[in-house]
Amino acid sequence: MLHTDAWWRDAVIYQVYPRSFADSDGDGMGDLPGITGRLPHLRELGVDAVWLSPFYPSPQHDAGYDVADYRGVDRRFGELGDADKLIAEAHGLGLKVIVDLVPNHTSEEHAWFRAALAAAPGSPERERYIFRDGRGVSGAEPPNSWQSVFGGSAWERAPDGQWYLHLFDVSQPDLNWGNPEVRAEFLDILRFWLGRGVDGFRVDVAHGLVKEENLADWTQSSQILGGLDPAGPPPPMWDQEGVHEIYQSWRRVLDEYPGGRVLVAEAWVAPASRLARYVRPDEMHQAFNFPYLEAPWQPAALRAVIDESLEANNAVGATTTWVLSNHDVVRHATRLGYPVGTPRMHGIGAEDPQPDTALGLRRARAATLLMLALPGSAYLYQGEELGLPEHTTMADQFREDPAWERSGHAERGRDGCRVPLPWEADAPSYGFGPTDASWLPQPATWAEYALDRQQGVAGSTWELYHSALGLRREHRLGHGSLTWQDATEGTLAFRNGDVLVLTNFGPEPVELPAGARLRLSSEPLDGDGRVPTDVTVWASF
Ligand code: NOJ
């Protein structure tokens, strides 16, 4: 494991979703001691760092992305001392720790928002958020036409008649980043966690903090997170020029601390050249590559997005950050089980068309092997190393994602990728915790995905990830560079250092180049030593 200050440039970073990773006390909700207890497993898997989704005090209306206090730990997850222990334990194992920072909005239960509601229009308390008078004779219409990402209007009326902006749930009022007090507060929050030893921050909705000054109407799309037309005008709530000076000021703070502390942008911004502006040398270090995540399982499309990403990031001296799954999207083992070209899904329910699970897993394993051979850094989402699919038949009564209600049940939402992990096939809650309790129901088929059914089992998905991470380190693939190779139609092939990577998307098996020695393969080769359909191989010479 590299421990230079630039550790993040080639790091494999594992996303832990605290609610669903490991439950130490049996209440059905994962917690920090649960995570700490399982850290040796992540070390063994072979990742370099963990990113923890929010664990701060929160009413949990958006699973913790509604923060009531940025300097604490929600009692459901433990206490501050548990965070300290987790960080120390991770460091002892050689793992870096990235925490989630949610600067676009607070929870409605944050002391600032309570004070804002209690104060009068025009007061300094209201100036920390985006309050406006409504339109229409009595101000009964929202101030503009913006839609919430979760559906419905992005404005809510306060009891005294003014409106406040919430790009997400009504319980997540947007902060006013034009206010110096807000800026100062977040610099202090950064210092609070840096002082406790965290190695970085994943910055939630990094492209949303600054809104166009006059809050102009925007009617082009209610699908404001992703799905934007890169050729069209920038939407007034996303990717405004003003966000960059905020990250420059954060970078200056991070650079005061030793050891290479990092900022990772969650920014749904396209094209890649626009996203690369977030990772210029004086700003953030990484930005999730969502165009890569969203690319169809198709060689030309993947090659184009890989080239575009590398080129845009190289131009600013940054590495590229690859990702296939996270807590907001349908898991890639399920996504890839639908016909190529299926539009992005916002959750799947029992009445929806169901995926081809075997095909999805086969392609997911091939996709992962392709991703882990690319130069740069890669993010893994908990459970993908087990080949976990989405829970696609969850009864609607269990859904907690606010998008389900706010969209008027048009979107099933993200609960299906957030189900607690199976660790032991024959234990209660599959070893998620000591009891049967699990905040979301686990599918009955999950015994077969449990860690203890996969460790030491040749060909299991866990063993595939384990081997891939080991070889990736041995061949320094994250530090390498990519050279495309001539390849049969329907395949992608590239060299990264001494490793040849080949993915076969086509219907017929393909030969490995003469002299190539197989190092790893997402599925066995066929009887003639050829690479079958939907398989990635790593070979050396
Ligand atoms: C992005 C987070 O990943 C998502 O889970 C959350 O709902 C929104 N930002 C709002 O914070």
DSSP track, 340-358 = TTPPPPS---TTSPPP-HH
100 CB within 6 A, ligand 1? no
Residue to probe by mutation, ligand 1, list 20, 328, 404, most atoms within 8 Å of CB: 328
Active site residue 204: yes
pTM: 0.97
Q: Are 326 and 311 in contact (CB under 8 A)?
A: no
User: So what's the pLDDT on residue 1?
Assistant: 38
Tokens 């699970």 belong to which residue? 357
Which pLDDT belongs to residue 5? 84
* Distances in whole angstroms, Cα of residue 506 to Cα of each of 221, 281, 489: 36, 40, 8
Write the burial class of residue 233 (CB in 10 Å: 0-12 exposed, 13-18 middle, 19+ buried). exposed
Q: Note down pLDDT in tens along the chain; length 541 residues.
A: 334 689 999 999 999 999 999 999 999 999 999 999 999 999 999 999 999 999 999 999 999 999 999 999 999 999 999 999 999 999 999 999 999 999 999 999 999 999 999 999 999 999 999 999 999 999 999 999 999 999 899 999 999 999 999 999 999 999 999 999 999 999 999 999 999 999 999 999 999 999 999 999 987 655 555 545 666 777 899 999 999 999 999 999 999 999 999 999 999 998 999 999 999 999 999 999 999 999 999 999 999 999 999 999 999 999 999 999 999 999 999 999 999 999 999 999 999 999 999 999 999 999 999 999 999 999 999 999 999 999 999 999 999 999 999 899 999 999 999 999 999 999 999 999 999 999 999 999 999 999 999 999 999 999 999 999 999 999 999 999 999 998 899 999 999 999 999 999 999 999 999 999 999 999 999 999 999 999 999 999 8
d(CA 333, CA 360): 5
Rounded distance from Cα 107 to ligand 1 centre (Å): 12
User: How many helices and strands, by DSSP H and E, does the chain display?
Assistant: 13, 16
Residue nearest to atom 8 of ligand 1 (CA): 65
Count of CB atoms situated within 10 Å of the CB of 138:
8
Report the residue among 52, 56, 61, 65 best suited for mutation to probe ligand 1: largest number of ligand atoms under 8 A from its CB.
65
d(CA 405, CA 411): 8
> 4 CA to middle of ligand 1, Å?
31
Tell me which of 203, 205, 381 to substitute to probe ligand 1's pocket, judged by most ligand atoms within 8 Å of the beta carbon: 205
CB 247 within 8 A of CB 278: yes
Residue 165, both tokens: 């902006």
**How far apart are the C-alpha atoms of 394 and 390, rounded to whole Å?**
10
CA 149 to ligand 1 center in whole angstroms: 10
54 prior amide bond cis, ω within 30: no
Report percent pLDDT > 70 for the chain: 97
Q: Report the C-alpha gap between 47 and 140 in whole angstroms.
A: 53
Distance from residue 85's CA to the centre of ligand 1 (Å): 26
What pLDDT is stored for residue 274 in this prediction? 93
Contact indicator for 250, 187 with CB cutoff of 8 Å? yes
Burial class from Cβ neighbours inside 10 Å (0-12, 13-18, 19+) for residue 331 reads: buried
Residue 17 in contact with ligand 1 by CB distance below 6 A: no
Nearest atom in ligand 1 to the alpha carbon of residue 104 is 11
Query: pLDDT value at position 487?
Result: 83
**390 a catalytic residue:** no
At residue 234, the pLDDT reads 74
Residues composing the chain:
541
- For 444, list phi and psi in degrees, rounded to 5: -65, -20
406 CA to centre of ligand 1 in angstroms:
15
Chain centroid, CA 322 distance in Å: 10
**Residues 321 and 286 sit within 8 Å (Cβ to Cβ):** yes
Query: Out of 204, 384, 401, 523, which one is annotated catalytic?
Result: 204
Q: How far is CA 377 from its chain centroid?
A: 13
* Beta carbon of 62 within 6 Å of any ligand 1 atom: yes
Q: What is the pLDDT of residues 350-405, one digit of tens each?
A: 999 999 999 999 999 999 999 999 999 999 999 999 999 999 999 999 999 999 99
Does residue 265 sit in helix, strand or coil? strand
| Helix, strand, or coil (residue 96) | strand
Q: Tell me, what amino acid is at 344?
A: R
**pLDDT tens string 252-309:** 999 999 999 999 999 999 899 999 999 999 999 999 999 999 999 999 999 999 999 9
